[in-house]
Amino acid sequence: MENKILVANRGEIAIRVMRACRELGIPSVAVYSEADKDALFMHYADEAYFIGPAPSIESYLNIKNIIEAARKSGATAIHPGYGFLAENPNFAYACESEDINFIGPSSRVIELMGNKIVARRELQKAGVPVVPGTEGPVTNFTQAQEVAGEIGYPVIIKPSGGGGGIGMMVAHNEAELTKALDSAQSIAAATFGLAEVYIEKYLVHPRHIEFQIMADTHGNVIHLGERECSIQRRHQKLIEEAPSPALNWELRSKMGEIAVRAGKWIGYRSAGTLEFLFSEGQFYFLEANTRIQVEHPVTEMVTGVDIAKEQILVALGHPLSIEQGAVRMFGSAIECRINAEDPSHDFVPSPGKLRGYRSPGGMGVRVDSGVHPRYTIPSIYDPMISKLVTWGRDRTEAIARMKRALYEYIITGVKTNIPFHKAVMENSTFVNGELGTHFIDMEKDILLAEMERVMQREKPLDDKLAQIFEEKKRVAAMTAVAALAQMHRQADTPKYR
């Protein structure tokens, strides 16, 4: 086993990885910024090291400081989680150069898949279907005009680097093409330091379906089925589920085989995701994510495979603990990302102090969280509070449990997107599984009306709960946090640097 594993991340994903470490009997090391000096993940780790001021560029994106923390702690491996440096080939290379075990794919693979033009071209060689579009970058309007004329409007212009939908521009006709091209190139240059873009046919109402793959260093590559990730806002996922209501076993097998073939072709290792657009019975490669995904719990819930633990064991040289023939998907799971944001005002972030916090529980409910009562959600990072996951014997039961869990969830002090999730769970289009990446835009009026009903109906209760937590539960909340911290210290007292 490894001597120690440093988790180069924060919040719930840091705790998620540390839990896997604890089950494996491996000490974990946290790194934290000034903004996270009172965060829960620090208390969970066996050691914690300060790495810089609150801005990410000076802390969680500071490769030098993270490597130095690994040296000081004696950590022999680093798990990057997701986001921040998880898909940064320079970080993976720095770990490799320092003889630190990077828990993820090699720097070569991260770099290969990080450029979407290169990834698209490379996976085509492996027989992976791609959306019709350019084979290389598009540099000027004349070139873009020729491509659009060949594949037909509408088209989408995408930066070759980066992700998260940043810089993507849609053109429905030639008049829109010039502005879309200029905007995409400018945003790509400013955000990713690379103005390179490419063009694809824009699929009007596709579903976003991704396949989870796992690969070891012994040549084994498997898939753990798919996740439906179509409910998005500005290309950012909000609700995910497994399996997809759109796929039958024949399609699942075919897409899974393609995902495994891609993993073998590029020499993949660790957990990764192949993302596809699915439209009218056809699927097309979108991009590869060379890390664990935010939504990995839904796959864990339906397969019983601990993805984070598999990542660690693979990095230690162990073969995968499960073969493809033994993978089964039982029931259905749904994940709602609970964020500190106001869905009634275009999901504007709502950072601040939690006055009261009580998470739901019961049969088939999982909450991955990095907060505690009285915790202050920083304005400088992603406003995620938790990931709420429910499992059921079928999709209907998973939805019913999600409804129940959402109504049990108590969060006061900040606005959250819980009313939005409640509205989605009541939406007939969602319940019928008729999903697409434009679901929120198409159902906007219905969702807003339902959210308004939810908030008006619950306002008296919310006000009462806020009063209770503020006036009567303050001491109890702080006592609970202290007790939890003490519990985490029982085996060994964490060392703070």
What residues act catalytically?
Answer: 291
- Which DSSP letter does residue 319 get? P
364 in Cβ contact with 442 (< 8 Å): no
Tokens (6 digits) for 332: 């259905």
DSSP notation for 233-277: ETTEEEEEEES-TT--HHHHHHHHHHHHHHHHHHT--EEEEEEEE
C-alpha 356: how far from its chain's center?
Answer: 26
By CB atoms closer than 10 A (0-12, 13-18, 19+), residue 220 is middle
CB atoms within 10 A of CB 437: 21
- Dist CA 217 CA 227 (whole Å): 25
385 in Cβ contact with 377 (< 8 Å): yes
Place of tokens 């990302």: 337
Tokens (6 digits) for 279: 């439209």
Tokens (6 digits) for 162: 């980066």
Residue 446 bridge partners (DSSP): none
**Angle of the 89-97 helix axis to the 63-73 helix axis, nearest 10:** 30
C-alpha 36: how far from its chain's center?
Answer: 20
Tokens (6 digits) for 335: 């994940």
The residues, any chain, with a CB within 8 Å of residue 394's CB and separated by 6 or more, are 331, 332
Torsions phi, psi for 276 (to 5 deg): -130, 150
16 in Cβ contact with 368 (< 8 Å): yes
The residues, any chain, with a CB within 8 Å of residue 10's CB and separated by 6 or more, are 32, 33, 36, 39, 41, 60, 370, 381
275 in Cβ contact with 284 (< 8 Å): no
CB atoms within 10 A of CB 87: 22
Q: Give me the sheet containing 197-201, strands edge to edge.
A: 169-171, 155-159, 197-201
Tokens (6 digits) for 423: 């509205």
Half-sphere exposure (Cβ direction) of 248: Cα atoms closer than 13 Å: 3
Tokens (6 digits) for 85: 């440096």
Q: Which of 442, 456, 404 is nearest to 426 (CA)?
A: 404
Residue 236 bridge partners (DSSP): 233
